[in-house]
């Protein structure tokens, strides 16, 4: 990983005969536990250290990375009962290398390279922290970018393709699906931040806010609106022009219509593929000119 080694704590271990075994890193001090700590205490201490210093959570902090590296190497030994015994007896040092003391001599007492992360404990702890197994080395995906985007009521009903300019000046071609609602998120693949390790870029996540309309309200996949109708048209029947999200259409008003009557315009609601909603027009009869003398005479008669 290219981490620079820091200054590690050192201690003098003694073997059972009381002689100096080796100058080595004090693994107990690295994890912050006593030499009499039980396996559960050691495990909890390592988990705290790992959560606080994992490189995935602190990608630009070399000191955190070194702390994580040291804690992981310490747990590799202290988290294994056999290796911990060898370490306590001075048979291996803080890097897992044979010291020539105790029951093993030369190189090969542990069967591992120094600082290697082999075995289940390390992978199990990472699995609990990040919801998966041990992260394999290699390029990582860039981070995602989140935006909040307002769209018109009409675009949410009919669907659309729009070009949107984001904070860094890029223009994104966005496909808005019919039926989208406030709070839903659109994901634009590979439109996020670049990877720092040669992996694919992250994604752009667009949190949608649908602007309210002064004409229509949404009811599931249906749309509701109020349509003003002249008194004469309501009495005799006729036609009025109605605005829909798809554009203006002509609505036929039956003879003798009254305020509160609701007419249904089939498939003029939210344009969900295969199941478009309807538009419900509530009639509101209006007097065009209350001072019309003919209308007054009619009312008096």
CA distance 244 to 221: 14
Same domain, 70 and 122: yes
Domain boundary at 190, 210, 230, which?
210
Q: Where are the alpha helices (DSSP H) in the chain?
A: 27-31, 39-53, 62-78, 81-88, 120-130, 153-158, 231-236, 293-300
Same domain, 257 and 165: no
Domain boundary at 80, 105, 130, which?
130
| Residue 77 CA: distances (Å) to CA of 70, 158, 272 | 11, 62, 60
Residue 51: Cβ within 10 Å count: 14
Residue 5 is assigned to a structural domain of this protein: no
Same domain, 182 and 83: no
Residue 17 is assigned to a structural domain of this protein: yes
Both tokens of residue 247? 């554009």
- Nearest residue to 13 (alpha-carbon basis) of 80, 86, 81, 77: 86
* Cβ-contact 135, 56 below 8 angstroms: yes
By DSSP bridging, strand 204-210 and strand 185-188 are: antiparallel
**Global pTM exceeds 0.85:** no
Same domain, 260 and 191: no
Residue 136 is assigned to a structural domain of this protein: no
Query: Which residues, other chains included, contact 173 with Cβ-Cβ below 8 Å and sequence gap of 6+?
Result: 161, 162, 163
Residue 139 is assigned to a structural domain of this protein: no
CA distance 33 to 88: 14
* Cβ-contact 282, 261 below 8 angstroms: yes
Both tokens of residue 231? 């008194």
Domain boundary at 98, 130, 162, which?
130
CA distance 60 to 55: 8
CA 150 to chain centre: 20
Position of tokens 């001075």?
90
Same domain, 195 and 259: no
Same domain, 119 and 223: no
The total domain count for the chain is 3
- What is the Cβ-side half-sphere exposure of residue 1, based on CA atoms within 13 angstroms? 15
| Residue 16 CA: distances (Å) to CA of 86, 89, 110, 283 | 12, 7, 19, 98
Same domain, 184 and 231: no
Residue 70 is assigned to a structural domain of this protein: yes
Same domain, 113 and 155: no
Same domain, 114 and 29: yes
Same domain, 169 and 279: no
- Nearest residue to 153 (alpha-carbon basis) of 217, 242, 227: 217
Domain that holds residue 250: 216-300
Please give the chain's pLDDT, 301 residues, in tens. Answer: 333 333 333 333 333 333 333 345 789 999 999 999 999 999 899 888 888 887 777 777 888 888 888 888 888 889 888 889 888 888 788 877 776 554 433 333 333 333 333 334 444 444 455 555 455 556 888 899 999 899 999 999 999 999 888 777 888 889 999 999 999 999 999 998 888 888 899 999 999 999 999 999 999 999 999 999 999 999 999 999 999 999 999 999 999 999 999 999 999 999 998 899 999 999 999 987 777 767 777 767 6
Residue 91 is assigned to a structural domain of this protein: yes
Residue 109 is assigned to a structural domain of this protein: yes
Same domain, 125 and 27: yes
User: CATH number of the domain that 47 lies in?
Assistant: 1.10.287.110
CA 179 to chain centre: 22
Same domain, 205 and 220: no
User: CATH number of the domain that 286 lies in?
Assistant: 2.60.260.20
Residue 235 is assigned to a structural domain of this protein: yes
């Amino acid at each position: 990983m290219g981490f620079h080694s820091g200054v590690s704590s050192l201690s003098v271990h003694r073997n059972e005969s009381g002689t100096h075994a080796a100058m080595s890193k004090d693994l107990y001090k690295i994890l912050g536990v006593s030499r009499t700590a039980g396996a559960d205490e050691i495990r909890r201490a390592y988990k705290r250290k790992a959560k606080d210093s994992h490189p995935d959570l602190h990608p630009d902090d070399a000191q955190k990375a070194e702390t994580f590296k040291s804690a992981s190497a310490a747990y590799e030994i202290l988290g294994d009962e056999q290796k911990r015994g060898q370490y306590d007896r001075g048979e291996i040092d803080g890097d897992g290398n044979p010291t020539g003391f105790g029951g093993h001599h030369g190189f090969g007492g542990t069967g591992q390279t120094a600082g290697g992360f082999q075995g289940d404990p390390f992978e199990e702890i990472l699995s609990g922290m990040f919801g998966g197994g041990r992260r394999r080395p290699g390029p990582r995906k860039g981070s995602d970018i989140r935006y909040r985007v307002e769209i018109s009521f009409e675009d949410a009903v009919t669907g659309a393709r729009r070009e949107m300019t984001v904070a860094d000046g890029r223009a994104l071609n966005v496909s808005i699906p019919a039926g989208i609602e406030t709070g839903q998120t659109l994901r634009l693949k590979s439109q996020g931040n670049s990877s720092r390790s040669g992996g694919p870029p992250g994604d752009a996540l667009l949190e949608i806010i649908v602007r309210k309309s002064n004409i229509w309200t949404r009811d599931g996949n249906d749309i509701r609106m109020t349509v003003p109708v002249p008194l004469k048209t309501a009495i005799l029947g006729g036609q009025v022009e109605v605005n829909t999200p798809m554009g203006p259409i002509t609505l036929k008003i039956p003879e003798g219509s009254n305020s509160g009557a609701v007419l249904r315009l089939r498939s003029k609601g939210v344009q969900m593929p295969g199941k478009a909603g309807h538009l419900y027009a509530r009639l509101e009869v209006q007097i065009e000119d209350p001072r019309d003398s003919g209308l007054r005479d009619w009312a008096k008669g």
